[in-house]
Structure 1
Amino acid sequence: MMLSFYHKAWPFWVILFFIFSCAEKKSVPIVAYIGDKAITLNEFRDIYQFNPALAAVKNDVSAKKILLNSLIAEKLLALAAIDDGLDKEPTVRHYMLQFRREALIEKFWQDSILSKADVSEEELLQAYIQSKQKRVVHYLMYENESEAQTDYNRLKQGVDFIELAKLKGYSEQTLPVDTILLKTPLPNIQSAVFKMNLNEVHPPLKEGGYYFILKLTNIISDVFRSKDDFERFKPHLAKIIKKRKSASLFGRYINTHFKEAPYTVHTKVFKKIARLLDAQIFPENKAER
């Protein structure tokens, strides 16, 4: 039987987990029975839709037969393993418990987060416009919010951004700069920068464990835009927006359901490690300052 493509996508212990721990619901249509176990229509459909190897099979009926044969073979192997008592092996039970946790997390994410991250046509259009721009910012980074606010007040009083940066140990050549795109994985900064006007300075903005003062210094635009281009990029844009919304929804869920963080982080140690990593990745910054 043609099992290789399915073995790569679904480890043996996953099948074992389903057979060993899941009772079949009578209301769910059954595709095939293997002993007293069943392959449900939902299981068959989900694997068929999300298995890229089946796309290489030109004939749709043949692809489904290949998948069904593979599922039956996997179930038979798993049943044989249970008969031999392999489900009692510590390693196998560890994998089964691990998969159970992952399945619960996936179910929670789908039902409580992803299903609520709707994307509107207006959001897609706005994202399309942003995808045609690159926004260049100079920035100053702070560990302390009050220090960041003090420096921002100095800027409001007329101190030049570059002059302030020099007081912080930078030169015009080493002043931190970054290009912000639609897909930049810094949601607070990305959102703020795309609302700024050229040469505007943004008040201290928290991202992660740090505070940033941002100055928008350049906007590079791609003038080519069309309805066809928009339609072509829609799926990609929707993916970016949905991912960002999901992260925001998850953050709100945590804040709502966990009034106190169910973990502790040694902030000073974390920031020290972050600085060490930064020095390793960007040694030129350390040398120039």
Structure 2
Amino acid sequence: MAAGLLFSCSRRTARQPEEKILAKIGDRTLSVNEFIRRAEYTIRPPYCRSDNYIHRKIVLNSLIAEKLLALEAGADNPLTQNEEFQDFLEGRKEQAMRQWLFAHDFYQKVKLDTHRVKQVYKLAGRTYRIAYFSVKTPIAANVVRDKLKTGEPFKQVFRDFGGLKKLPRRQVKWTDPENKA
């Protein structure tokens, strides 16, 4: 009777349910619960947000790849010990911080005047036909400018200074490079 009392009053340790393992990668495992937590409770990219087979497969493959990378790039990996690689990572972090700072301190603070944007947008599609000529010295350029300011016709000034028979012309668009040769 004492033995019966001893066995009935003793504490039994609650058995933990066994984890169902989806994948085993080296010494690491990927369980069903971890998959559910990582797939359901984290933000996923737009290409795998749904709850269909393909999207779950993408998430599973990503988690497996993460485990593989953790095995390959552990703390004792020669790449992580390489000073140049550490400098590269530091540079990437600093660049990310600069991008965040630019977005936060400059880009988000810009308030565009939509009326002004619409005006400039209308000009953006225009094509201008221009006539032009070149002069060789700054003195000649000043003389040309003065003659044009007094109202002398452009063609007449060209004839006086251009030396060519036909006035050069070309089309200029908003999208053309400024120094078109």
Question: TM-score if structure 2 supplies the norm length?
Answer: 0.50
Which structure ranks higher in relative contact order (CA pairs < 8 Å, sequence separation ≥ 6)? 1
Q: Which has the higher helix share?
A: 1
Q: Which has the higher strand share?
A: 1
Question: TM-score if structure 1 supplies the norm length?
Answer: 0.35
Higher Cα radius of gyration: 2
